[in-house]
A and B are shown apart, each in its own frame.
Chain A
């Protein structure tokens, strides 16, 4: 829902900027910064839900060719690889986030602190990794129940 709000803000601010610039010659100050911040929100705030719903783009040509047990194993490996990649990203985003805070980096027009954008990335990735872990646990449980 937060991502949808970011999308709405981006659409309204850009539309207002165009109309205000054309009609009153008074463009919205910092519209490029606002758009860049909001597009980051749209891009990353939806990621945890994508991971929870297991909606990532993948090639599933083996699905109909391998036994059910192998397919479950491949799904588990996919989830573990996703968590591993998220963890690598998380570990390496942390340092630039600290640096941006320490050096007081800001966006040029609005003065918005850049470390907050890194925080948004960090916590979205963390939530996405946790959601992948949740779907992994769900997969393990459902597989155990089927066996019982």
Chain B
């Protein structure tokens, strides 16, 4: 049997196993091991699989994942999101749809200390949706703004998805973080414009009911100094070359715990809870990374990526055609698959394919995050939508689906901008010291 045929059968088996509820890590690992053995024989497959856990789980680069995750967990539990929303609300109090705009802006700021989209959506929905509902906002706008704002958590660095991509694609974490910053800011602006337009569509010319909010702006902004300090220290440190990403992550986690204790925001038991939650999350992520590495070794042996690239070139699909095809593939898959699983299953195949068309791996990493973001807010499997539904029982899942739909335009516009002007992504990493 040719390696190519084994590869094709392996991918089909992987899809089948995942669809019948086998854990993604187990499906990747078993298919990778059996497929590798079918090509290279059982002894070599045994050698390969025996070396993978220590090679990947004790990788120095891997340490950024638990440390930044811990920083995000502490930030989420210590109520930083409430401070950010309060300050953003005062900052935008004169604007149309001010509360939804404030919610998106606060989510972007919270994304600067928390690398998880679902965590950002969960914490922000608790503080901003009740206030929007009290102010008479249409429920679909309230839910849509929080769902969309939540996705900024995985684009604005530090980003869990970018860290995982850096490990499997063997790219610089620092460059990926820098690359995602400008697209993150553009997407924040696009979401804000969407919220304002959506508010106008839903409410027409009805004036917005505003709370009698006389709190001055400067003190409210100063109350967010801890978030600015954490973001400045960690990302600024990486950007200016003071720290490696691992060191920045350690300082960020230490700083978040210190600030949380100093501001009396969380008890010792709650801090321990953050450590335990982080360990469980990281364990399940690293297990899937180990399995993905086994699957990648198998895919490399099949030569399927080279064959795919040759086939695509033979049918005359150019660089633009291939990137549109990849985008469509990820958007469709995002309707059914969870983001990290989707990334780990597909990158061994899609990365060599797009690289063969001359695309930059850093640029592609940022594109993947945006495509995963779309999956987070589009039905039926949008994780952010489920997270909001779990927190706010008085908004139906159909209202949440309806509310998130207009916000899907913004990431598509950003992707078009990134294709037309790749320097949006690639300029900042080129400036890193």
Query: What's the least CB distance linking B197 to chain A, in Å?
Result: 33
- B46 cross-chain contacts in A, Cβ below 8 A: 91-92, 95
Tell me which residues from 266 to 299 in chain B have a Cβ below 8 Å from any Cβ of chain A.
272, 275-276, 278-280, 282-284, 286-288, 291
- B253 cross-chain contacts in A, Cβ below 8 A: 11
Q: Are B49 and A60 in contact (CB under 8 A)?
A: no
| SS of B interface (majority) | helix
Tell me which residues from 57 to 92 in chain A have a Cβ below 8 Å from any Cβ of chain B.
57-63, 74-75, 77-78, 81-82, 84-85, 88-89, 91-92
| A-binding segment of B173-181, B242-250, B321-329, B357-365 | B242-250
Q: Are B283 and A44 in contact (CB under 8 A)?
A: yes
Q: Are B21 and A59 in contact (CB under 8 A)?
A: yes
B283 is contacted by which of A3, A12, A59, A94 (Cβ under 8 Å)? A3
Q: Are B33 and A59 in contact (CB under 8 A)?
A: no
* B18 adjacent to chain A (CB < 8 Å): yes
Q: Are B23 and A56 in contact (CB under 8 A)?
A: yes
Given contacts A11-B67, A15-B251, A57-B338, contact A82 B275 (CB under 8 A): no
Q: Are B23 and A82 in contact (CB under 8 A)?
A: yes
* A133 adjacent to chain B (CB < 8 Å): no
Tell me which residues from 1 to 56 in chain A have a Cβ below 8 Å from any Cβ of chain B.
1, 3-4, 7-8, 10-12, 14-15, 17-18, 32, 35-40, 42-47, 49-50, 53, 55-56
> Chain A: how many interface residues by the 8 Å CB criterion?
58
* B254 adjacent to chain A (CB < 8 Å): yes
Tell me which residues from 87 to 129 in chain A have a Cβ below 8 Å from any Cβ of chain B.
88-89, 91-96, 114, 117-118, 121, 125
Q: Are B282 and A59 in contact (CB under 8 A)?
A: no
* B228 adjacent to chain A (CB < 8 Å): no
Q: Write the residues of chain A forming the contact surface with B, with a CB cutoff of 8 angstroms.
A: 1, 3-4, 7-8, 10-12, 14-15, 17-18, 32, 35-40, 42-47, 49-50, 53, 55-63, 74-75, 77-78, 81-82, 84-85, 88-89, 91-96, 114, 117-118, 121, 125
